[in-house]
Structure 1
């Protein structure tokens, strides 16, 4: 499993794809720094920067880039067939790749959100935002890893989920929020550090349980899907 993880990390960070992880976190920190430099109270900019950019854009988009990248490239170039010839249980392929993806996503999103919390004047807020980002990284990455095995266009499907389901329906149609990872992250962050700038719309129990459901079902689905590749000789 460690070998699969090392190969995955080398492939992920050795590609230009890794450079795509930098602009959004830097933009997030930059906007918060500008607001702080102009002496604006964080109650005036916190919701837009933290919730509107950090949780709605930076976290899911980075998870999408990483989650679809750790296995999607191998599906596209055909090397997945070579991997499947190895005598490894499918979970020993999926789980290391998932671990690498979660680590990369969590570090890339939690650190800038912590800095934003500090710029807002609260280390405890920064810690809450970072912790929520780490939890959200598990759910988003598991989902997007599964999408990379279900479709030739996982990025497109991921963007539909982020922009349409979470960005549009999740904000205005209450029934869809229970399937919105963004809402879980906001709820958990607000629970860890209650604040008026985060608009939690779910109960903490719902957010915690549904996060676990997303992770478990997505990973089980990915393992089963990878198994079907070897059985049917599929490459997509």
Structure 2
């Protein structure tokens, strides 16, 4: 299991895809730093930067890039056969891949969100955003890893979920928020450190329970889906 995780991490950072992880964190911290340097009131920029860019774009996009990359490329080029021939339970393969995806996504999102939250308000808000982003990384990574096993266009479907379901419907159609990972993250951060910069639209129990369902449900489905792959890397 640790060998699979190591190979996955090495392959992920050995591709150009890893370079796509840098611009958004730098942009988030840069914007927060500029606003703080020019004494712009946090009430004027905090929500657009922390939520609009950080939680609604940085966290899900980074998770999408990493979550679809840890296994999707192996499915596409057929090299997954090398993993499937190993005497490893499919559960261990998925957990190893998911662990790498969550770890990379969480660090890439949590660090800049902590810095931006600190610049906007306080260390407390920064920590709240960091903790919430780790929870979000688990849910997003589980979802996007599953998509890489269900379709050959996981990035496209992931973008539809981020932009349409969360970005459009999640903001204007209240019934869709219960299936919005972004809303879970906002709620968790707001409950840890209440602030006017964050506006939670689902309750904490809903955020915790539904977040757990995303993680566990998608992970179990991913294991079951991987079991359906034949030795040629095709689904039977």
Measured against the shorter chain, the TM-score band is over 0.9
Aligned equivalents of 1:68 and 1:4: distance in 2? 16
Q: Find the counterpart in structure 2 of residue 40 from structure 1.
A: 40
Q: TM-score, normalised by structure 2?
A: 0.98
- Please report the RMSD computed on the Cα atoms of aligned residues, expressed in angstroms: 1.3
- Post-superposition CA distance 1:96-117 (Å, at most 9, x none): 1100110000000000000001
| Correspondences of 1:115-194 after superposition (within 5 Å) | 115-194=115-194
Pairs aligned (count): 236
Q: Which runs of 5+ in 1 are unaligned?
A: none
Aligned equivalents of 2:134 and 2:125: distance in 1? 14
Q: Which runs of 5+ in 2 are unaligned?
A: none
Question: 2:31·2:49 contact (CA, 8 Å) conserved in 1?
Answer: yes
- Post-superposition CA distance 1:173-208 (Å, at most 9, x none): 000000000000000000000001111000000000
Alpha-carbon shift at residue 233 of structure 1 (Å): 5.7
Secondary structure at 1:230 match in 2 = coil
Q: Find the counterpart in structure 2 of residue 29 from structure 1.
A: 29
Q: TM-score, normalised by structure 1?
A: 0.98
Aligned equivalents of 2:42 and 2:61: distance in 1? 24
- Segment drifting more, 140-149 vs 78-87: 78-87
